[in-house]
Amino acid sequence: MTAFLIGAFVALAVFCTSTLSGVFGMAGGLLLLAALLALLPVATAIAVQGAIQIVANGSRAYFSRAFIDWRILGMICGGLVAAAIVLWIVRYTPDLPTVCLAIGLMPILVWIPREWLALDASKPHHAFFCGLLGGGLNLAVGVSGPTVDIFFIRTQMDRRRVIATKAATQVVSHAAKVVFYGATASAMAANDWLLVIIAAPFAVAGTQVGYRILQKLTDDGFRRWTRWVVTGIGLFYLGRGLILLSGG
C-alpha cells in the first residue's frame, strides 16, 4: 500500500471512528486500533492511536466542557498514575494475540447486572479504581472503553455529563500512553507523526458530527445502543485473537 493510500485509509478510519465515539463516548477507539494494527507494529499502533485519540477526545471534551466533572476526573487521574508506575516497573511490552483477546473479552463487563458490580464513578474510591483499571488497560492493550464505561453508564449522570467527563479522562489516558511507549520503545517515527497530523482534522470533524447525533438520542437509547455496539466490536477482536493463537 502506497503512502497516499495509507494516509487516505487512516483519515477515513479516523473520521468514522471519531463520529462513533462522538455518539457513544467509546467504541471508536476500538475500531481505530483495529485499523492501525493492520498497518503498524503493535506498540507503534497503540502509540499512534493514542495520539489521534488525544485530538478526537480533546475536541469532544472541548465541545462538552461545560459538563465535565472535574472532581471525578482528578480521582481517575490518580488511579492512572498508579497503573503507569506499575507497568513501568515491570517493563511491560504488548503482543498482538494478548491485545486482541483482552479487548475481545472487555464487552463482557457491560452485560454484568448492576447488582453484581455496582460501580459508580461519582464515588471517589470508585473513580480512583476506574483510573487504575481503565488506565492500566489503556496503557497495556491500547483501549479501555468498555472497562471505563461500567463506571459511568450506571451512574445517575445524564449522557452529556458522561460523554464530557469520559472524553476528558481519555485525553489524559491517551497522553499517558503516548509518553509511556515513546519513553520505553521509541514507538513513533516521523512517518507515524505525519499520520497523526493528517488524521487530526478528520478526528475533529468526526467528533462534531457525532456530537450532533448525540443530542438527538435519549438517555435510554444511548445506554442500550452502547452495549450492542461494543459487544459487536469485542466479538471481532476475540475472533482475531483466537485465530492468532491457533497460528492463523
C-alpha cell at 8: 487516505
- HEC secondary structure over 169-192: HHHHHHHHHHHHHHHHHCCCCHHH
Report whether pLDDT(76) > 90: yes
Query: Which pLDDT tens digit goes with each residue over 101-128?
Result: 988 888 787 777 767 777 888 899 999 9
Q: Round to whole Å and give the CA distance between 174 and 148.
A: 13
Backbone angles phi, psi at 65, to 5 degrees: -55, -30
Q: Is the pLDDT of residue 65 over 50?
A: yes
What's the confidence (pLDDT) of residue 185? 47
Provide the pLDDT for residue 126: 93
- Split into its structural domains, the chain has a count of 1
Q: Which ranges constitute the DSSP H helices of 90-157?
A: 96-105, 124-141, 145-152
pLDDT tens for each residue of 122-162: 899 999 999 999 899 989 888 887 788 778 877 778 878 88
Give the model's pLDDT for residue 79. Answer: 96
In this prediction, residue 181 carries a pLDDT of 77
Other CB atoms within a 10 A radius of the CB of residue 35 amount to 18
| Segments forming the whole domain that contains residue 74 | 3-245
Write down the residue that cell numbers 478528520 correspond to. Answer: 202
Residues 78 and 131: beta-carbon distance below 8 Å: yes
pLDDT of residue 80: 95
CB 236 within 8 A of CB 31: no
pTM of this prediction? 0.76
φ/ψ of residue 209, rounded to 5: -65, -45
Q: Does position 217 have pLDDT exceeding 60, yes or no?
A: yes
Tell me the pLDDT tens digit for each residue of 160-203.
888 889 889 989 998 998 888 765 545 566 677 788 888 889 98
